[in-house]
Each structure stands twice: as structure tokens, then as C-alpha cells.
Amino acid sequence: MASPFVILGISFYIGLGLLGRLMPALPVFFFGLPLQLSMQIWVMTVTVSGILMVFLGYFRDTYMSFLP
């Protein structure tokens, strides 16, 4: 469940590190924090909604076996 966050976080920090090397006068981590937060919230909504849809499918299939 945590793999999308890890992959996005690592790639984002690699990009910010490269940008920081290319533009040393710009505090890229200060400007990158709001973008990182919004991306992580978006990834969380997509991931949780996908996991919930799979769970509800299994729950529905299991619950239907108890109905006559």
C-alpha cells in the first residue's frame, strides 16, 4: 500500500535535488513542499479509492453467498 508514496517521494526528491543543483540560489525545497503535499494527497485519494473498490467487490461477493 505504501509503494505509490515511496516511488512518488523518491522521484520527487530526486527532481528537486537536480533542480537545486541547477539553480543553487533558489530554495527549491521551500517551493517544493506545497507541491509535494498536494501530490501526496492526490496519490492517497487514488490509492485508497482503488483499494476500497477492490475490498467492496470482495465484500459483495462474500456477502451474496449468505443471501438466499
Q: Which residues, in sequence order, are CB contacts of 28 under 8 Å at separation 6+?
A: 16, 19, 20
Average pLDDT over residues 6-15: 93
Rg of the chain in Å (alpha carbons): 19
Q: State the CB neighbour count (10 A cutoff) for residue 53.
A: 9
| pLDDT, tens digit (0-9, with 9 covering 90-100), for 11-54 | 999 999 999 999 989 888 888 999 999 999 999 999 999 999 99
Q: Which residues, in sequence order, are CB contacts of 32 under 8 Å at separation 6+?
A: 12, 16
How far apart are alpha carbons 60 and 41 in whole angstroms? 28
pLDDT score for 46? 93
pLDDT score for 44? 93
Average pLDDT over residues 47-64: 93
Predicted confidence (pLDDT) at residue 1 exceeds the cutoff of 80? no
